[in-house]
Amino acid sequence: MITRELARDLREAGLVWHPVAADRFQLDLPDEVELEVEADVFVVSDLTIEARSTPTGTLLAFNGTTEWALDSVTLADAVWLPHEDQLRELLGGTFRMLRRDRDAFTVEIEMLGEELSFEHPDPSEAYGRALLALLRRAQ
């Protein structure tokens, strides 16, 4: 799973999240709001956490969680933690290969004729770093 910091960087670089079932996220509330659950990882599910479209945007509704003082949050108050396959799909035609070396995974992409490599012990993090580079170059 990618780190919260990388997830925030991806969002700031322009990655747009359209929540679907099984998506993971963490709360990313303003500093003045303190909740003990901010570090918890939540999963979008029609039974417990439902993505609801409203005229003002998408809300993540916490259904049936009576112990919570929070009924819903906006997408701006959540940070998406994409799965490895979602990250690979977002790389699209730039993705060339995933290679495992002894202690790390290397993701190779090609952008504008230039081959780039991103290495990390977690393959999701390597994919995420490659996607971040791609998004930053597109800005």
Q: Are residues 26 and 73 in the same domain?
A: yes
Residue 90 pLDDT > 90, yes or no? yes
Q: Are residues 13 and 48 in the same domain?
A: yes
Q: Are residues 101 and 117 in the same domain?
A: yes
Count of domains for the chain: 2
Residue 122 pLDDT > 70, yes or no? yes
pLDDT grade, residue 135 (50/70/90)? Answer: very high
Average pLDDT of 72-95? 94
Domain that holds residue 124: 84-138
Residue 67 pLDDT > 60, yes or no? no
Q: Are residues 72 and 14 in the same domain?
A: yes
pLDDT value, residue 50: 85
pTM score, two decimals?
A: 0.85
Q: Are residues 75 and 8 in the same domain?
A: yes
Q: Are residues 52 and 113 in the same domain?
A: no
Residue 68 pLDDT > 80, yes or no? no
- Tokens, residue 78: 């959540």
Average pLDDT of 82-100? 97
Please tell me which of 36-50, 67-81, 82-96 the model is most confident about, judged by mean pLDDT.
Answer: 82-96
Contacts of 92 (CB under 8 A, 6+ apart): none
| Domain limit, last residue, from 81, 97, 121 | 81
pLDDT value, residue 33: 60
Residue 4 pLDDT > 70, yes or no? yes
Q: Are residues 118 and 72 in the same domain?
A: no
Q: How high is the mean pLDDT of the chain? A: 89
102/112 Cα distance (integer angstroms): 29
Q: Are residues 28 and 49 in the same domain?
A: yes
76/58 Cα distance (integer angstroms): 9
pLDDT grade, residue 79 (50/70/90)? Answer: very high
Q: Are residues 120 and 64 in the same domain?
A: no
Q: Which helix or strand (DSSP H or E) is residue 118 part of?
A: strand 114-120
